[in-house]
Amino acid sequence: MIRTIQVELGERSYPIFIGSGLLSQIGDRCVEAGFPVRSPLLVVTDSEVAPRYLPALEENLRSKGYTVASHVIPAGEASKSLQVYEEVMTTAISAGLDRSSAVLAMGGGVVGDLAGFVAATYMRGIGFLQLPTTILAHDSSVGGKVAVNHPLAKNMIGAFYQPSLVLYDLDTLATLPARQISSGLAEVVKHGLILDKEFACWCREHAGELLALDAEALGYALERGCAIKADVVGNDEREQGQRAILNLGHTIGHAIEAVGGYGVFLHGEAIAIGMAGSALLAAKLGRDTAIYEDTVSMLSALGLPTRLPAEYGEDELIEAMMHDKKFKEGKMTFIVPDAIGAVSIVGNVEESLVREVIAQLKKEGSPW
Amino acid sequence: MIRTIQVELGERSYPIFIGSGLLSQIGDRCVEAGFPVRSPLLVVTDSEVAPRYLPALEENLRSKGYTVASHVIPAGEASKSLQVYEEVMTTAISAGLDRSSAVLAMGGGVVGDLAGFVAATYMRGIGFLQLPTTILAHDSSVGGKVAVNHPLAKNMIGAFYQPSLVLYDLDTLATLPARQISSGLAEVVKHGLILDKEFACWCREHAGELLALDAEALGYALERGCAIKADVVGNDEREQGQRAILNLGHTIGHAIEAVGGYGVFLHGEAIAIGMAGSALLAAKLGRDTAIYEDTVSMLSALGLPTRLPAEYGEDELIEAMMHDKKFKEGKMTFIVPDAIGAVSIVGNVEESLVREVIAQLKKEGSPW
Ligand SMILES: NC(=O)c1ccc[n+]([C@@H]2O[C@H](COP(=O)([O-])OP(=O)(O)OC[C@H]3O[C@@H](n4cnc5c(N)ncnc54)[C@H](O)[C@@H]3O)[C@@H](O)[C@H]2O)c1
Ligand SMILES: NC(=O)c1ccc[n+]([C@@H]2O[C@H](COP(=O)([O-])OP(=O)(O)OC[C@H]3O[C@@H](n4cnc5c(N)ncnc54)[C@H](O)[C@@H]3O)[C@@H](O)[C@H]2O)c1
Ligand SMILES: [Zn+2]
Ligand SMILES: [Zn+2]
């Protein structure tokens, strides 16, 4: 069964295919998408994914007549840097990529974001295909945000650049470590928490199947997650308004990643804590405290953390938030849940409230 | 007198203002363009331009209530690198630029291309204003091509990103060295050679006034140059077809820059030799040899070289062209004049013909 979601963005619209065994269709898909065989392709992947899936991918592409160059980056967030970006560019130039060429990103969000920024800026933009191999990458493969990190701030350097298509082979997820599975599911359930209560509850009920990578449950969850995100992005591609709701949990989450060092908490883990924090902030702003209880139970069911270790300094977290893109014109803006499945964008949040939330996230037992 | 050209690109349309004393209007123009005073502005300029024009610019912006950070790059093509790009990004982040901020590029094409790529990719794109201070930058300020160089190839990394407006203060041109004046005029006359015979002839007739920076003649020449380019770009923003005619002389010109080292020949000088080469190629392809004679007389009148020094190796030049973006799918494509004021895009040009052209460009006396 192949599930298909169409991301509607006018002339930049593209399909997402989700199913088992899809990587074996990649060569045909490239031909279908109009990439000429005489233009070299560049596969970007990482050191965990390459040994498992790269040889078959290269062979499939070559069997259709393509010339293929591959660039394997070290696995991990540290590769989303300008230095690695330049190295990938060097490979692209040396391999003779031209304006009709495409970059194929096979991996998680790190590979997708980095390779997407290469595709967006090589000769001012060439073809781009996403082959996600993590659950989290269901999120990064919808919406066209591509980026690298600056030592001073995450995702600070980037572009909006849509792929031609996304091919999501569920079989590749089988080799994901357990923590990565939970981390990815954080973004899946996030889409429910923002806009679809029923889906959020479904995730809690089917947490066991999801964590066990049951193909039917996982296929459905990724389809719903992608579809919700595609809807939001379709209405606000360049994040001038509503798209910001997708950042639920990310202001605090990014600060946790920045202060702890990338990789201490995985991205999904950090935003799980951030989503718990947003629900605490919601309570301070007068919303029902049950939102917090529900949020925490949903995240916990998926094996995600919702508390912050004591060693995270309040001042450092606040400082990190100041650098965050979500601070527009000096105001502190947060995405705050109004209920499970509904959020508001709240500007002018007082720093003192955020400090209280951080303190509560560190308290043992009940935060109240 | 303020001359205004509107670059028509749908929702990305923008005006170019050309005249004397315009820099003193910059603060008002920023307010008019909708940049909020609470968002910091970043001025990028270079070590030649900064001592002459930066203090007044900063003061003007501050007098309107803006917070201003400035980043001064070393003058010269070497600053169009990923390393300097990263340094400018660091300044932007440290200065707290947010999504409503703008980058102001005050300088020549190097500053414009680099600062434009920063604006295009800081937080995935913020405001961008061009304040050209060279004649050559009349070219780079129209059309939205922004880029940095890769050690292996010029302008290889970049984006299409349109400014909000261009403010061209003719007074700043008074401090340009003579070679830079001629170099800039090469791109001016190029626009005539491509599409407007009358204008190309006008440039030859008024060469003396142009070289002396006569405000009336220069204002007219820049207006015509910008307008011709704006027309072409308006019909093909992303260079999928006709926009490529603007590359007249650039395949050979870029190779000369790459082989000689940037700065031995200035950009305009290199493309002047390239345009002479294109006219020689035209003769080989059956066009009238008078095109070459006319091209050379127009370029010479503006103080530009049309011959290649003997030490430039044929093999190295060909090799450099192979890396050039204009080689799509392995074919050698050249812009070839059909007459003064008319060009064709010719694909599949034989390497042997290009080698003959290079040899002729090096011959002393008549090339025939
Ligand atoms: N662009 C967007 O809209 C967007 C959205 C969300 C997240 N992101 C970005 O995505 C990144 C996080 O994504 P991620 O969690 O996928 O990280 P990741 O790419 O680092 O992958 C996580 C780990 O799993 C490994 N891995 C990947 N696929 C595997 C497989 N099939 N089998 C075994 N191991 C595998 C990787 O090597 C890595 O070690 C962050 O940089 C984040 O900023 C971007
Ligand atoms: N984006 C485009 O469409 C496009 C088009 C043409 C050229 N370009 C690029 O533009 C660059 C060349 O532009 P350029 O010739 O303006 O080079 P430039 O920016 O290096 O300026 C030339 C020299 O003049 C100095 N200078 C600038 N303004 C001055 C002033 N008012 N008084 C005294 N000195 C001054 C500079 O410091 C520099 O040393 C190249 O990198 C080329 O690739 C881009
Ligand atoms: Zn995220
Ligand atoms: Zn040029």
**3-class SS letters over chain B:** CCEEEEECCHHHCEEEEEECCHHHHHHHHHHHCCCCCCCCEEEEEECCCHHHHHHHHHHHHHHCCCCEEEEEECCCHHHCCHHHHHHHHHHHHHCCCCCCCEEEEEECHHHHHHHHHHHHHECCCCEEEEEECCCCHHHHCCCCEEEEEECCEEEEEEEECCCCEEEEEHHHHHHCCHHHHHHHHHHHHHHHHHHCHHHHHHHHHCHHHHHCCCHHHHHHHHHHHHHHHHHHHHHCCCCCCHHHHHHCCHHHHHHHHHHHCECCECHHHHHHHHHHHHHHHHHHCCCCCHHHHHHHHHHHHCCCCCCCCCCCCHHHHHHHHHCCCCCHHHCCCEEEEEECCEEEEECCCCHHHHHHHHHHHHCCCCCC
Residue A91 annotated as part of some ligand binding site? no
Protein residue with least CA distance to atom 12, ligand 1: A109
Classify each residue of A49-63 as buried b or exposed e, where b means 16 or more C-beta atoms within 10 Å of its C-beta.
bbeebbeebbebbee
With 0-12 / 13-18 / 19 or more C-beta atoms within 10 angstroms meaning exposed / middle / buried, residue B266 is: buried
Mean pLDDT of B127-136: 98
Q: Write out chain A residues lying below 8 Å of B123, CB-based.
A: 156, 158, 325
CATH topology of domain B180-361: Dehydroquinate synthase-like, alpha domain (1.20.1090)
Asked if A100 lies within 8 A of B238 by C-beta distance, the reply is no
Kindly state the helix (H) or strand (E) to which residue A298 belongs, with its residue range: helix A290-301
Count other Cβ atoms within 10 Å, centred on residue B336: 21
A328 as an active site residue: the answer is no
Per residue in A49-96, pLDDT (tens digit) is 999 999 999 999 999 999 999 999 999 989 999 999 999 999 999 999
pLDDT band at B258 (very low <50, low <70, confident <90, very high): confident
Interval A342-362 mean pLDDT: 94
**pLDDT score, position A91:** 98
User: Percentage of chain B with pLDDT > 70?
Assistant: 97
Closest by CA to A60, choosing from A75, A41, A88, is A41
Compare all CA atoms of chain B with the CA of A161 and give the residue at the minimum distance: B124
Tell me the average pLDDT across B160-171: 97
Contact call for residues B260 and B50 (beta carbons, < 8 A): no
Per-residue confidence band for B49, with pLDDT thresholds at 50, 70 and 90 = very high
Whose atoms come closest to the Cα of B172: which ligand?
Answer: 2
Query: What's the pLDDT band for A201 if we cut at 50, 70, 90?
Result: very high
Boundaries of CATH 1.20.1090.10 in chain A? Answer: 180-361
Predicted local confidence at residue A331, as pLDDT: 64
Q: Above 80 in pLDDT, residue A328? A: no
| Residue B329: closest C-alpha in chain A | A39
Mean pLDDT calculated for residue range B77-98: 96
Indicate yes or no: CB of A328 within 8 angstroms of CB of B157. Answer: no
A94: helix, coil or strand? helix
Mean pLDDT score, B5-12: 93
Which of A102, A159, A169 has the alpha carbon at shortest distance from A131? A169
Residue A130 scores a pLDDT above 80: yes
Q: How many CA atoms lie within 13 A of A102 on its CB side?
A: 25
Residues from chain A contacting residue B124 (CB–CB below 8 Å): 145, 147, 158-160, 238
A293 is written with which tokens? 């209880």
* Under 8 Å between Cβ of B132 and B165: no
| B38: chain A residues, CB-CB within 8 Å | 329-330
Mutate to test the interface with B, among A103, A157, A233 (most CBs of B within 10 A): A157
Contact A64, A29 (CB under 8 A): no
CA-based nearest distance B86→chain A, Å: 8
Kindly tell me if the per-residue pLDDT of B34 is higher than 70: yes
> Residue A224 C-alpha to ligand 1 middle, in angstroms?
19
Report the alpha-carbon distance of residue B55 to residue A176 in Å, rounded.
Answer: 56
CA-atom Rg of chain A in angstroms? 20
- B117 and B147 in contact (C-beta within 8 Å)? yes
Q: What is the mean pLDDT of chain B?
A: 95
Q: Quick: pLDDT tens for A149-199.
A: 999 888 999 999 999 999 999 999 999 999 999 999 999 999 999 999 999
- At B204-238, the pLDDT tens digits run 999 999 999 999 999 999 999 999 999 999 988 88
SS3 A291: helix
pLDDT band at A330 (very low <50, low <70, confident <90, very high): low
What pLDDT is stored for residue A152 in this prediction?
87
More confident site: A331 or B257: B257
A7 pairs with which residues across the strands? A14
Tell whether the model's pLDDT for residue A325 goes beyond 60. Answer: no
> What is the pLDDT at residue A320?
87
Whether ipTM tops 0.95, in short, is no
- Does the Cβ of A80 fall within 6 Å of ligand 1? yes
What distance in Å separates the CA atoms of residue A229 and residue A239, rounded to the nearest whole number? 12
Cβ-count burial B10-35 (b if 16+ within 10 Å, e if not): eeeebebbbbeebbebbbebbeeeeb
| Distance of alpha carbon A58 from alpha carbon A51, whole angstroms | 12
Nearest residue, CB atoms, B93 vs list A85, A98, A153: A153
Q: Is the pLDDT of residue B320 over 90?
A: no
Q: A52, A106, A140, A271: which to mutate for ligand 1, most atoms within 8 A of CB?
A: A140
Active site residue A355: no
The predicted structure's pLDDT at residue A122: 98
The pLDDT, as a whole number, for residue B264 is 87
∠ Cα B326 B86 B74 (to 5°) = 85
CA A295 from centre of chain? 20
Active site residue A155: no
Most A CBs within 10 Å, among B87, B93, B124, to test the A interface: B124
pLDDT over 80 at B331, yes or no: no
Q: Which CATH class is domain B3-175?
A: alpha beta
Residues carrying CATH 3.40.50.1970, chain A: 3-175
pLDDT tens readout for residues A279-322: 999 999 999 999 999 999 999 999 999 999 999 999 999 988 88
pLDDT at B73 over 90: yes
Comparing A359 with A261, which gets the higher pLDDT? A359
Q: Decide if B210 contacts B203 (C-beta within 8 A).
A: yes
The alpha carbon of A183 and the centre of ligand 1 are apart by a number of angstroms equal to 9
Shortest distance between the Cα of B219 and any Cα of chain A, in A, equals 31
**Interface list for A 39-58 with B (CB within 8 A):** 39
Count of A-B CB contacts under 8 Å: 96
The rounded distance, in Å, linking the Cα atoms of B200 and B26 is 32
Which atom number of ligand 1 is nearest to the Cα of residue A147?
1
Which chain B residues are Cβ-neighbours of A328 within 8 angstroms? 98-100
d(Cα B252, Cα B244) in Å, to the nearest integer? Answer: 14
Residue A338: burial class (beta carbons within 10 Å; 0-12, 13-18, 19+): middle
Q: What residues flank ligand 2, with Cβ below 6 Å?
A: B 46, 48-49, 75-77, 80, 107-111, 113, 133-134, 136-137, 139-140, 143, 145, 155, 172-173, 175-176, 180, 183, 267
